[in-house]
Amino acid sequence: MRNRINFYLLEYALHSLWRQKSKTLFIGLVLTLLIFLLSALFFIASSIKHELAQSVDALPEITVQKLQGGKHTNIPSSAVDTILSIHGVEDAIARVWGYYYFQKAGVPFVLVGVDPFEEQYKKSLQKIVDNYEISSQEQMLVGRGVYEIFKEHHYEESFNFIKSDGSLYTLPIAGVFTETIELESNDMIILSKQSAREIFAMDADMATDIVVKVANPEEIAMVASKIQLAFPDARIITKEALQISYANIIDYKSGVFLSLFIVSLFTFFMIIYDKLSGLSTQERREIGILKALGWKVELILKEKFYEAALLSFVSYLVGVSVALFYVYILHAPLLRNIFEGYSVLRSSFHLPFVLDFQTLALLFFLSIPLYVAASIIPSWRVATQEADEVMR
Amino acid sequence: MIELKNLSKSYAISKEQTSEALRGIDLKIEEGELVILKGPSGSGKSTILSLIAALSKPTSGDVLVDGKNISKLSDDFAALYRGKNIGFVFQKYNLLANLSVAQNITLPLIPLNPPLHELEAELESVMQMFHIEHKKDVMVSKLSGGEQQRVAIARACINDPKIILADEPTANLDKTLSLHFIEILKELKALNKTIIVATHDPLFFGLDFVDREIEIADGALV
Amino acid sequence: MSFFKILFSLSLLLSLSLFANTYEKNAQTKPVLTQQGAQKEWCPVCGMKLESYYKTSHYARLADGKERQYCSIRCLAVDMQEYAIDLSSVRVVDAMSEKVLEASEAFYVMGSDVAGTMTKVSKLAFGTKEDALVFIKEHGGKLVRFEEALKAAQNSLASDVAMVQMKKEKKVYPMGKKIFEKMCAQDIDPTEYLEINALKAALVEKKLCKPLAEKQLQALSLYLWEVKRFGDLEALGDVVKVVKDEKCPVCGMFVAKYPRWTAQIFYGETRFSFDGVKDLMKFYYEPRRWGKYENFTREKISKLLVTDYYSQKAIDGREAFYVLGSDIYGPMGNELIPFASKKDAKTFLMDHKGAKILQFNEIRVEDVYKLDE
């Protein structure tokens, strides 16, 4: 038998699709829409995951928090001295940070206090501190998303923080930074540790938590256990644990996401069911005729396969392409609201372009083989009957 | 070269009832013979053609073509056999309405996957033989009855089959076209093909170039 | 809104009460500063602000009559190493009344729950025995006299210094350097001054730097006094560099895959990289065994680098200390794990159940192959 591709068959398949224009178009559109929806969601999710992973990766190896009654409370900065004396510890930094709820806008900001003469715990932070002069004067740097919110509420040059005792604390805006990843610049404000303490009513010798840099990853466990010994009431969080929990944040838990997913699957299966429930008389007749003319069952199925594969593959390509455009160029209007849970700021959703081949492959194998199988099976049933019966 | 040996075929109408279309037919047809199979509708003519074309299997008995028992062929081999040896002109033509003339005619060739120039050559020759080359790319649904018939015949001939079977070919044609068909029959006979025509059209009776007339009634030879 | 107000004020109250538990060492009254000149605000040994540690402050007179005031008994002990000090002249601040009294008459509480100044064990002085006992009731500790307190301070000096030294090297000096580079005139010469507090006074008086908070001033001064005076911070060591396709001549593995264990020998221009000290030593002893390396004799070795376990930086392998038999495995299994200092090696040995510590020239070829068993 010839091993060349039977181009006549391919041509026949194409023509067959063309003959049933309206049906082809309808199914094509539905498939494309489904794949578009699914891939857009997948792309957004994996981009966010990527951003989160990056942000966690930048964190130091160990974070030390003091617990009181199982809840986080401030830790004395002097703990840094004890930790520094542990072998393997490259550096220990007392962090001063917290959330400030801007009531009018209904959004929380993350206030990060820095000491400009200290080695920062994150490279992006270091870059910002190096690039901008946060002197001991009281000023602050804000992320782009924060700045937009400020502008919305007519705070152009400075902002008034409300301290815990009700009094106002005004800080002038020294600049807008863009050095961090999108996720962070959305809600982050950088200021001096002093100012942060002022706003949060924190003592000068206390810190929010302490981050520890360990040069050799193999020593992390040992260092963590030594810290725990020194501070029995502390919670020691390793970077590894953080990475796992961050990955879970975006793991398809949002209810809306789930329901969208289910709806699309449902629609998809409806199409398949429709196909499986049998062929029209005309289609049956056509198969019978082809058999009578010398077409083997195998050939008939091959032709049906070409039809289904062509249609679904083109739908896949179009769906994925449009999704790429939608997510990375249009920045996913409407759909992005599903993911707002992780960052409560309405802001520019400039996601990093992450082409995850696993996702693409998953989509491919979810959509195409299913549809192709659904198309072939009813034809197979008909084709194996006696041609004579079919044509009557 | 076609031999029917004690051939029987029955169909099930309901759970208990069966209808016997053929009862123990014995028949021999030589190569190159033009045979008219005559009998009223329901007499079993179509069934015989269907069995010779291996489009269905007999309930009992054998069909031998060139010594090969084609009644026992598997589905795939039956298709192969058909593609190589049989040209069938159906009563209702069974053309694919949304395909063009050329597309319809070349359908039997697709499984054989010949090189393009070969396919086109065959197509040309057969279209010319039956005078429809001028309507090559027209959709068959737009053709007249006669033209459709010619397409059906052309399709039946394109794979150069040894055996040509025609089931009531003139049932839907007027006298002129029917006579025209008989002319075509002559040409086909000249090509030394084995031809069996099942019909009850009296136009076919008593023709001089017909080798044999076989009568059949109620599933048995008369 | 009102609910939040209540919550906040409650937490304020709570923190205030917690306040009562943190013992404040800074002066509640006006501190008595006995030194001469602007530098009288700071301790001449460690540079810290005397007012902030007033309650542990000690006074002494040198042989030439000069008055010295220290932040703590520890700094007194340090100063005693350099100067002859008449112990009978030593005075101390009463932790309760903040009055100055003779050290010989004071009652010390040693080892209470109050943090020590520049030392692990705190030593606070009281004018009367009763006051001291009351203090012990609340904060624990034991009652001693000046002699014993001083002795304890002297004995723990070495470990006290070590305790602070790590912090200084890891944090304070780098910070001081940054402050110096960003905020000060670059021509400051610390050798012009006799004591650290004189340096500090000059920095403030002559405005040699932009305005600094005390903490920053202290970091800067420590950097200038303890580092810049003698040179500068060693450029932070780098990691051992390998290229992507360098293979270990002993085991054939790609060394770049194991950056934490990389070791290298340089024979002039040629270098060999290994995925562990064990393989390096195998090569070192018998280069011929691993290929046509007869020409690479020990005399030709120009440099030998290993990766320090704790800092992951490149250190001189011939000066390093190696721990054998620990529970940490390299890519080739049991390893000789390198450390920059013996202290580091000792700590590691204890933490990771090491068997022994060897210096480079103590490593015998049998030790190396024994690791493979």
Position A48 pLDDT exceeds 80: no
Between C353 and C21, name the one with better pLDDT: C353
Q: Mean pLDDT throughout B36-60? A: 86
The pLDDT value given to residue B79: 84
The pLDDT value given to residue A265: 76
Least Cα distance to A254 among A316, A317, A313, A341 occurs for: A341
Q: Is the same domain home to A386 and A255?
A: yes
From the CA of A125, how many Å to the nearest CA of chain C?
A: 16
Question: What's the distance, Cα to Cα, between the start and end of chain B in Å?
Answer: 21
Q: Is the same domain home to A238 and A96?
A: yes
A1: in domain:
no
Range of the domain at A171: 58-247
Across chain C, mean pLDDT equals: 86
**Could you count the other beta carbons within 10 Å of the beta carbon of residue A221?**
13
Q: Which of chain A's residues have a Cβ under 8 Å away from the Cβ of B107? A: 289-290, 293, 295
Question: From C352, which residue of chain A is nearest by alpha-carbon distance?
Answer: A222
Of A87, A117, A219, the CB nearest to C178: A117
From the CA of C309, how many Å to the nearest CA of chain A?
A: 7
Q: CB-based contacts of A93: which residues, under 8 Å, 6+ apart?
A: A60, A80, A118, A119, A120, A121, A210, A211, A212, A213
Least Cα distance to B80 among B111, B122, B38 occurs for: B111
DSSP string for residues in B103-123: HHHHGGGGGG---HHHHHHHH
Which of A247, A262, A285 is a domain's end point? A247
CB contact under 8 A, C309 and A81: no
Position A318 pLDDT exceeds 90: yes
CB contact under 8 A, A164 and C8: yes
Identify the band that residue B186 occupies on the pLDDT scale cut at 50, 70 and 90: confident
How far is CA B99 from each of CA A51, B138, C354, rounded to the nearest angstrom? 55, 8, 85
With an 8 Å CB cutoff and a minimum of 3 pairs, decide whether chains B and C touch.
no
The answer to whether residue A205 neighbours chain B at the CB level (below 8 Å) is no
**Could you count the other beta carbons within 10 Å of the beta carbon of residue B146?**
17
Q: Mean pLDDT throughout A305-319? A: 91
Please state, in angstroms and rounded to a whole number, the distance separating the CA atoms of residues A339 and A331: 13
CB contact under 8 A, B113 and A8: yes
Tokens of B32: 């190159």
What total number of domains does chain A contain? 2
CB contact under 8 A, A118 and C171: yes
Q: Is the same domain home to A286 and A239?
A: no
The pLDDT value given to residue A137: 65
With an 8 Å CB cutoff and a minimum of 3 pairs, decide whether chains A and C touch.
yes
Q: Which of chain A's residues have a Cβ under 8 Å away from the Cβ of B99? A: 15, 19
Q: Is the same domain home to A220 and A154?
A: yes
The answer to whether residue A15 neighbours chain B at the CB level (below 8 Å) is yes
The answer to whether residue A91 neighbours chain C at the CB level (below 8 Å) is yes
Of B83, B96, B110, the CB nearest to A289: B96
Residue to test with chain B: of A282, A289, A293, A386, most B Cβ within 10 A: A293
Position C15 pLDDT exceeds 50: no
Between C295 and B121, name the one with better pLDDT: B121
Strands A209-214 and A62-68, sheet pairing: antiparallel
Across chain A, mean pLDDT equals: 81
The pLDDT value given to residue C90: 92
Q: Which of chain A's residues have a Cβ under 8 Å away from the Cβ of B98? A: 19
Cβ–Cβ under 8 Å, residues C274 and C331: no
Least Cα distance to C123 among C80, C176, C188, C70 occurs for: C70
The pLDDT value given to residue C3: 55
Which of A247, A264, A293 is a domain's end point? A247
Position C120 pLDDT exceeds 70: yes
A270: in domain:
yes
CB contact under 8 A, C170 and A81: no
Please state, in angstroms and rounded to a whole number, the distance separating the CA atoms of residues C136 and A52: 52
**Strand ranges across the sheet with B60-65:** B18-29, B2-12, B60-65, B68-69
Q: Is the same domain home to A243 and A254?
A: no
Tokens of B94: 């069974």
Of C5, C178, C213, the CB nearest to A136: C213
> How many beta-carbon pairs under 8 angstroms link A with C?
71
The answer to whether residue C341 neighbours chain A at the CB level (below 8 Å) is no
This complex has an ipTM of 0.85
Q: Which of chain B's residues have a Cβ under 8 Å away from the Cβ of A285? A: 94
CB contact under 8 A, C167 and A165: no
Beta strands in B91-208 (DSSP E): 163-167, 194-199
Question: From A94, which residue of chain C is nearest by alpha-carbon distance?
Answer: C171
The pLDDT value given to residue C310: 92
Instruction: Among A262-266, A345-349, C260-264, C272-276, name the one with the lowest average pLDDT.
Output: A345-349
The answer to whether residue A130 neighbours chain C at the CB level (below 8 Å) is no
Q: Mean pLDDT throughout B72-89? A: 86
Please state, in angstroms and rounded to a whole number, the distance separating the CA atoms of residues B149 and B95: 9
Between A49 and A196, name the one with better pLDDT: A196
Q: Roughly what angle, to the nearest 10 degrees, separates helices A357-383 and A21-57?
A: 150
Q: Which of chain A's residues have a Cβ under 8 Å away from the Cβ of B113? A: 2, 4, 6, 8-9
How far is CA A260 from each of CA A132, A249, A338, rounded to the nearest angstrom? 44, 18, 10
Instruction: For C144-203, write each residue's pLDDT tens digit.
Output: 999 999 999 999 888 888 778 888 888 888 889 888 888 888 888 888 888 888 888 888
Cβ–Cβ under 8 Å, residues A317 and A325: no
Question: From A283, which residue of chain B is nearest by alpha-carbon distance?
Answer: B96
Chains that touch B (3 or more CB pairs under 8 A): A
Q: Is the same domain home to A304 and A210?
A: no
Q: Which of chain A's residues have a Cβ under 8 Å away from the Cβ of B11? A: none
Q: Is the same domain home to A260 and A273?
A: yes
Of B56, B82, B109, the CB nearest to A386: B56
The answer to whether residue A87 neighbours chain C at the CB level (below 8 Å) is yes
Q: Mean pLDDT throughout B78-92? A: 86
Identify the band that residue A253 occupies on the pLDDT scale cut at 50, 70 and 90: low
The pLDDT value given to residue A385: 66
Instruction: For B92-148, write each residue's pLDDT tens digit.
Output: 888 888 889 999 999 998 888 888 898 899 899 888 888 888 888 889 888 888 888
The answer to whether residue C346 neighbours chain A at the CB level (below 8 Å) is no
Question: Which is it for the CA torsion A244, A247, A252, A253, positive or negative?
Answer: positive
Residue to test with chain A: of B99, B113, B116, B167, most A Cβ within 10 A: B113
Q: Mean pLDDT throughout A51-77? A: 82
Question: From C9, which residue of chain A is nearest by alpha-carbon distance?
Answer: A165
Residue to test with chain B: of A3, A4, A8, most B Cβ within 10 A: A8
Q: Mean pLDDT throughout A362-373? A: 80
The pLDDT value given to residue B178: 84
A2: in domain:
no
Identify the band that residue C338 occupies on the pLDDT scale cut at 50, 70 and 90: very high
Q: Mean pLDDT throughout C126-141? A: 91
Question: From A194, which residue of chain C is nearest by alpha-carbon distance?
Answer: C213
A330: in domain:
yes
Residue to test with chain C: of A90, A115, A117, most C Cβ within 10 A: A117
A368: in domain:
yes
Of A6, A290, A292, the CB nearest to B88: A292
Residue to test with chain A: of C16, C17, C18, C170, most A Cβ within 10 A: C170
H helices then E strands: how many in chain A?
14, 12
Q: Which of chain A's residues have a Cβ under 8 Å away from the Cβ of C212? A: 136
Identify the band that residue A255 occupies on the pLDDT scale cut at 50, 70 and 90: low
Strands B163-167 and B86-89, sheet pairing: parallel
Place of tokens 């490149």: C314
Identify the band that residue A349 occupies on the pLDDT scale cut at 50, 70 and 90: low
Q: Is the same domain home to A272 and A177?
A: no
CB contact under 8 A, A222 and C351: yes
Q: Is the same domain home to A45 and A101?
A: no
**Could you count the other beta carbons within 10 Å of the beta carbon of residue C339?**
24
Q: Is the same domain home to A180 and A287?
A: no
What's the one-letter identity of residue A366?
L
The pLDDT value given to residue C11: 45
Please state, in angstroms and rounded to a whole number, the distance separating the CA atoms of residues C126 and C105: 9
Place of tokens 């499986």: A276
Distance of CA B29 to the CA centre of its chain: 15
The answer to whether residue C344 neighbours chain A at the CB level (below 8 Å) is yes
Between B130 and C46, name the one with better pLDDT: C46
- Residues above pLDDT 70, as percent of chain C: 92
Identify the band that residue C113 occupies on the pLDDT scale cut at 50, 70 and 90: confident
Q: Which of chain B's residues have a Cβ under 8 Å away from the Cβ of A15? A: 99, 103
Tokens of B160: 């150069």
CB contact under 8 A, C166 and A85: yes
Chains that touch C (3 or more CB pairs under 8 A): A
Please state, in angstroms and rounded to a whole number, the distance separating the CA atoms of residues A127 and A113: 15
Q: Is the same domain home to A147 and A286?
A: no
From the CA of A8, how many Å to the nearest CA of chain B?
A: 6
Position C2 pLDDT exceeds 60: no
Q: Give the residue numbers in B contacting A (CB under 8 Å), as ranges.
A: 50, 53, 55-57, 75-76, 79-80, 82-84, 86, 88, 90, 94, 96, 98-99, 103, 106-111, 113, 119, 155, 159
Of A81, A203, A219, the CB nearest to C310: A219
Of B76, B99, B107, the CB nearest to A293: B107
What's the one-letter identity of residue A148?
E
Residue to test with chain A: of B77, B110, B116, B119, most A Cβ within 10 A: B110
Identify the band that residue A254 occupies on the pLDDT scale cut at 50, 70 and 90: low
Q: Is the same domain home to A225 and A301?
A: no
Which of A191, A215, A247 is a domain's end point? A247
Please state, in angstroms and rounded to a whole number, the distance separating the CA atoms of residues A88 and C328: 14
